[in-house]
Amino acid sequence: QVQLVESGGGLAQAGGSLRLSCAASGRSFSRYAMGWFRQAPGKEREFVAAITWSGGRTYYGDSVKGRFTISRDDAKNTVYLQMNSLKPEDTAVYYCAGGATGWSMGALVSPRPYDYWGQGTQVTVSS
């Protein structure tokens, strides 16, 4: 069983930055693709970013491309989401997801392939 625990959320001003972390338990972290999703009140869960098990490929949602960066440190069993140039519309609960072994990169934009989910961390961006 893998547990994912997010941290780093909070309040930021528009134009500011936050870095989210997702720490994973278990020995197979390096084999998993990892992703970040977000959900704002009254909206569906939205894809933010994903990174392959090797870290060699990354993929971003259109709304965050050029502003957010996903990375991973397998030695620490941790995936990060660096968020720059934050906008009020980035306000949401951010969820870390992992697993998706064997799925193509294109499939990682959907929540369906992921096996494990964190509890979420709130990000609020004020204007």
Buried (b) or exposed (e) across 63-82, using 16+ Cβ within 10 A? ebeeebbbebeeeebbbbbe
- The answer to whether the CB of 94 falls within 8 A of the CB of 79 is no
pLDDT at 105: 83
- pLDDT of 26 over the 90 cut: no
User: Which pLDDT band holds residue 40 (cuts at 50, 70, 90)?
Assistant: very high
- The answer to whether the CB of 125 falls within 8 A of the CB of 98 is no
pLDDT at 15: 98
Condensed to tens digits (0 to 9), the pLDDT of residues 55-91 reads: 789 999 999 999 999 999 999 999 999 999 999 999 9
Q: Residue 94 corresponds to which tokens in the numbers above?
A: 């951010």
